Amino acid sequence: MSDFSINREVKDGIAMIRVQGFLDAHTFEQLEEVIRAVYDEGCFKLVVDLARVDYISSAGAGVFIGARSESQENGGDVVLLNPTEGVKEVFELLGLTQIFKVAEDEAAAVAAF
């Protein structure tokens, strides 16, 4: 079973959230809690590093849909950094590829706001 972990760092008004492991119906609430904590600090610009997310289901994708909405309502946004092929495939099937900003490196992610 994959260990699930999330690290976050807020710098210059942008939160870098690094996720590792399976993002499914069992783990998505942990990511929601981290995002909530970032919002509570008044930061609504999120970069979510998905390079080490081996698997995502609709529960995981739903976290980003909700976060995108709340971030944009508060002048921010959600940028997905380096999603794996598996994540891209699910986003493609859900029709989310065109909706989210996706960056291939941190500099591009920060510049996307």
Residues in the chain: 113
Distance in Å, CB of 58 to another protein, minimum: 4
What is the widest separation between alpha-carbon atoms in the chain?
38
| Binding of another protein by 2 (CB under 8 A) | yes
| Binding of another protein by 89 (CB under 8 A) | yes
Site for another protein in 42-81 (CB under 8 A): 55, 57-59, 61-63, 65-66, 68-70
Helix axes 58-73, 85-94, angle to 10 degrees: 70
Please work out the total of residues on this chain that contact another protein, with binding judged by CB under 8 A. 26
Site for another protein in 7-36 (CB under 8 A): 22, 24-26
Q: Quote the distance between the C-alpha of residue 108 and its chain's center.
A: 15
CA–CA separation, 40 vs 52, rounded Å?
A: 26
Q: Among residues 9, 99, 105, 111, which is the contact residue for another protein, using CB under 8 A? A: 99
| Residue 23 region by backbone torsions, left for phi larger than 0, else alpha for psi between -120 and 50, else beta | beta
Which residues in this chain contact another protein in the complex, by CB under 8 A? 1-2, 22, 24-26, 55, 57-59, 61-63, 65-66, 68-70, 86, 89-90, 93-96, 99
